[in-house]
């Protein structure tokens, strides 16, 4: 059952307007109630626009929410559908999601982001991006290429228990605090170069091309 009329401001406002006018005529309090209605409508529409709520058909496949790349970016931006932890301002996606289509993250993100249990069917590209807060990728699966290059992290960057099936590139990265790379599988060659870490580097229990290598050496510029 789709409750789209609840989040659609025009339909909901129309119902409220009809009720208000009917009530005003019956109670002979037209001015005060209409004025109250206009105030309420202004606040509601303003809230709706600021939240940028959008309606997306929820399509679940084997327990995973299936969405397109643009829908996934909207979820990240809008913190919608209870996929994030409401106790924090960060985008903490904690539901299983399958994303179809190439994903290009925005070039400037000022909030923390934690992506967990997400399957990317196509490329994920993070390029020429500035992250102002902590960034974490945990238990994510990348079916095609993962490219993180020419990017700055103002705080920490963590890549934990992820699996990359195609080529992977970590190149020309500047991380002000700590870099964590643990328990991840890289099934194809990895370009891992020109990385500057201002804090500590943690790495263990990683696999490269089917071989357990443990710690991946840090290659600095």
Q: What tens digit of pLDDT does each residue of 151-185 get?
A: 999 999 999 999 999 999 999 999 999 999 999 99
Q: Are residues 117 and 18 in the same domain?
A: no
Q: Are residues 166 and 75 in the same domain?
A: yes
Q: How far apart are CA 66 and CA 59, in angstroms?
A: 5
Which secondary structure element, helix H or strand E, spans residue 5, and what is its range? helix 4-7
Q: Give the distance between the most distant pair of CA atoms in the chain.
A: 81
Q: Are residues 146 and 92 in the same domain?
A: yes
Q: Are residues 97 and 124 in the same domain?
A: yes
Annotate 153-174 with b (16+ C-beta within 10 A) or e (fewer). Answer: bbbbbbbbebbbbebbbbbbbb
Q: How far apart are CA 130 and CA 151, in angstroms?
A: 6
Number of domains observed in the structure of the chain:
2
Residue 6 pLDDT > 50 = no
Q: How far apart are CA 98 and CA 118, in angstroms?
A: 6
Asked whether residue 66 is assigned to any structural domain, the reply reads yes
Mean pLDDT of 146-152: 96
Asked whether residue 220 is assigned to any structural domain, the reply reads no
Q: How far apart are CA 114 and CA 94, in angstroms?
A: 8
DSSP β-ladder status, 190-197 and 108-109 = unpaired
Q: Which residue has the higher pLDDT, 61 or 110?
A: 110
pLDDT of residue 43: 59
Q: How far apart are CA 98 and CA 23, in angstroms?
A: 48
Q: How far apart are CA 84 and CA 54, in angstroms?
A: 16
High-pLDDT (> 70) share of the chain, %: 63
Asked whether residue 221 is assigned to any structural domain, the reply reads no
Mean pLDDT of 185-201: 93
Q: Which residue has the tokens 């019956």?
A: 26
Residue 1 pLDDT > 60 = no
- Domain containing 94 equals 59-214
Whole-model pTM: value is 0.69
């Amino acid at each position: 059952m789709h409750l789209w009329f609840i989040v659609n401001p025009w339909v909901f406002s129309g119902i409220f307007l009809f009720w208000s006018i009917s009530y005003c005529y019956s109670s002979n309090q037209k001015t005060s109630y209409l004025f109250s209605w206009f105030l309420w409508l202004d606040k509601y529409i303003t809230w709706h626009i600021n939240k940028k709520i959008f309606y997306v058909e929820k399509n679940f496949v084997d327990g995973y929410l299936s969405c397109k790349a643009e829908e996934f970016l909207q979820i990240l931006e809008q913190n919608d559908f209870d996929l994030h932890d409401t106790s924090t301002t960060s985008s903490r996606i904690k539901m299983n999601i399958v994303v179809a289509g190439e994903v290009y993250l925005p070039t400037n993100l000022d909030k923390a982001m934690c992506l967990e249990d997400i399957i990317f069917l196509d490329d994920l590209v993070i390029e020429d991006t500035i992250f102002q807060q902590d960034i974490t990728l945990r238990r994510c699966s990348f079916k095609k290429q993962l490219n993180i290059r020419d990017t700055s992290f103002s705080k920490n960057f963590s890549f934990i228990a992820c699996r990359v099936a195609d080529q992977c590139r970590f190149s020309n990265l500047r991380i002000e605090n700590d870099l964590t790379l643990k328990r991840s599988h890289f099934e194809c060659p990895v370009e891992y170069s020109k990385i500057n870490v201002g804090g500590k580097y943690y790495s263990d229990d990683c696999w490269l091309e089917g071989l357990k290598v443990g710690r991946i050496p840090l290659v600095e510029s």
